[in-house]
Chain A
């Protein structure tokens, strides 16, 4: 595949993103940008899950858990108060590394906690390590058994979040500070930062898409697809199937954790509703609607469905709608909505061919 062919959809997407912002600003409806920004962070989870499910063929019903590990780790580290530890040597060395940030709370008291970038690194490391340790035993399982094991993992994370005081129990964690970035940019949910954050989130999604698309078209991507289409054969051709499945599991959990970190700093809070099993089901449903092995379809659907959900279009039936979507897709269009005959031509252009 020529580079132009591979990256043309990226350029198209960038153009659409810019046009959307310009149009919404001209119409004075910039509040839509907030939900689009949040949808973009959810799209990160979906892109990772699409690699795992659509390409490597391994299902995960625990990705909300990785999203939460990312979000909560960063939230805890950037809201904890280290003032009590004052001048101990590890505080001093953390300060010397620039890992600490000082701010004032509502009442003017000084709070010393970890800087968001340190929280981000810790969150990614933790999510990666947990994914590795969990994946080590459960990726020996296949099909329904793997689905159940990942479901169990998601449930455990949910119960931990709900039970542990450090995670704020049912209240979650609020007052998470904004995430300052180089060049004066900031992941911040306040209206003044709306346009900036819309572009930041989309830059991240596009970066994730480029990484994912590259991977899919590489030697490793072919190996992943071959595992999906015939694991025993792939193994006999010299592909270390177990190692690739594990690596994809870890990579996709890192995508989810990154989404969790940034959305938490954007919203300024995270709560247990992000960790429910229905969130995991929602991600799976979106990948299915997008066409499983179709990164662009999955991304498009992630934006569309999350946007509708965040706008409250589905009302209190939110979870029911996503459950129903999953059922309908499995019955009526197992290759995804975008592979129905009328969509085949435009999608064929985007993804060149259906890789199952």
Chain B
């Protein structure tokens, strides 16, 4: 089916004796915001790593646009159009904000080792393009004033936005966001929500792992709930909110 952008089929992953991801199947339609929630240790981040190629699954399949990409290397997956952010924001600390975003242009540009050493005309022409498109992305996110700042000097909330900008620079069709609201205050979270919606409007599908319930309920089209590595529920946010199984794992048995 063409309108399913990403599909996982019966993914399995163990860490020693721990069954971290248990038989997870998920379909993400194109142009939607799919949330994955669950308590700590539910296997959300592992699921992410299996999709992004950071970890290979022990069994099961990942399909992107109907093509199997199971256990592809992360750089190949990025070239295909899947970008990710990390749970703890990880910018390149000694680079400027602009350079961080310029690195994000890597999979969409070509000049190699020798061209770089010889500084051929096409090298600096391409480099100028890289710089202007990176600046355009920063401007779009309202970060152009920070372009020349060293990344590690930025406040936490800004670092997260720069990480978004860097991921967007790879021109993804699917954006994997690993707990984007972690560590942000209410205002920053609200800003983030509108940013994610804006990204979706441009046709970029988002898969969001999140703890912040209000954010999930506000923006997502569909919510999958993981517990103990298994998918225990899936549906629109409203239905998930009233699902007794979900309430049980989040609030304990006597609330169900």
Q: Is the CB of B74 within 8 A of A235?
A: yes
The residue on B at minimum CB distance from A354 is B94
Any B CB within 8 A of the CB of A314: no
A187-242: which have CB < 8 Å to B? 211-212, 214-215, 218-223, 225-226, 229-230, 232-241
Residue of A226, A235, A238, A355 with most chain B CB atoms under a 10 A cut-off: A238
Q: Is the CB of A237 within 8 A of B106?
A: yes
The residue on A at minimum CB distance from B123 is A218
Q: Is the CB of A238 within 8 A of B79?
A: yes
**How far does the Cβ of B164 sit from chain A's closest Cβ, in whole Å?**
13
Any A CB within 8 A of the CB of B13: no
Query: Which of B17-25, B26-34, B84-92, B194-202 interfaces with chain A?
Result: B84-92
Any A CB within 8 A of the CB of B127: yes
The residue on A at minimum CB distance from B111 is A219
In-complex Cβ contact of B116 among A219, A236, A354, A355 (8 A): A219
Complex Cα–Cα for A211 and B116 (A): 8
Complex Cα–Cα for A212 and B92 (A): 21
Query: Which of B61-69, B96-104, B136-144, B245-253 interfaces with chain A?
Result: B96-104
Q: Is the CB of B117 within 8 A of A211?
A: yes
The residue on B at minimum CB distance from A240 is B75
Residues of B within 8 A of A226 (CB): 92, 95, 103
Any B CB within 8 A of the CB of A251: yes
Residues of B within 8 A of A232 (CB): 54, 74, 90
Q: Is the CB of B116 within 8 A of A218?
A: yes
What band does the interface of chain B fall in when counting residues whose beta carbon is under 8 Å from A?
A: 35 or more
Any B CB within 8 A of the CB of A247: yes
Any A CB within 8 A of the CB of B212: no
In-complex Cβ contact of B119 among A214, A239, A247 (8 A): A214
Residues of B within 8 A of A236 (CB): 52, 54, 74-75, 78, 83-84
Any B CB within 8 A of the CB of A356: yes
Complex Cα–Cα for A211 and B117 (A): 5
Q: Is the CB of B106 within 8 A of A219?
A: yes
Residues of B within 8 A of A214 (CB): 116-119, 123
Q: Is the CB of A222 within 8 A of B78?
A: no
Q: Is the CB of B107 within 8 A of A355?
A: no
Complex Cα–Cα for A224 and B114 (A): 14
Q: Is the CB of A225 within 8 A of B95?
A: yes
Q: Is the CB of B111 within 8 A of A218?
A: yes
Complex Cα–Cα for A220 and B91 (A): 18
**How far does the Cβ of B51 sit from chain A's closest Cβ, in whole Å?**
11
Complex Cα–Cα for A226 and B103 (A): 7
Q: A211-B118, A220-B113, A238-B78 are in contact. List 6 more A-B contacts (CB 8 A).
A: A215-B117, A222-B95, A223-B106, A229-B94, A232-B74, A353-B150
Identify 25 residue pairs between A and B in the complex whose beta-carbon atoms are under 8 Å apart, listed by A's number.
Answer: A214-B117, A215-B116, A218-B123, A218-B127, A219-B105, A219-B106, A219-B109, A219-B127, A220-B112, A220-B113, A222-B99, A222-B103, A223-B103, A225-B92, A225-B95, A229-B93, A232-B74, A232-B90, A233-B90, A235-B73, A236-B54, A237-B167, A239-B106, A241-B75, A355-B95
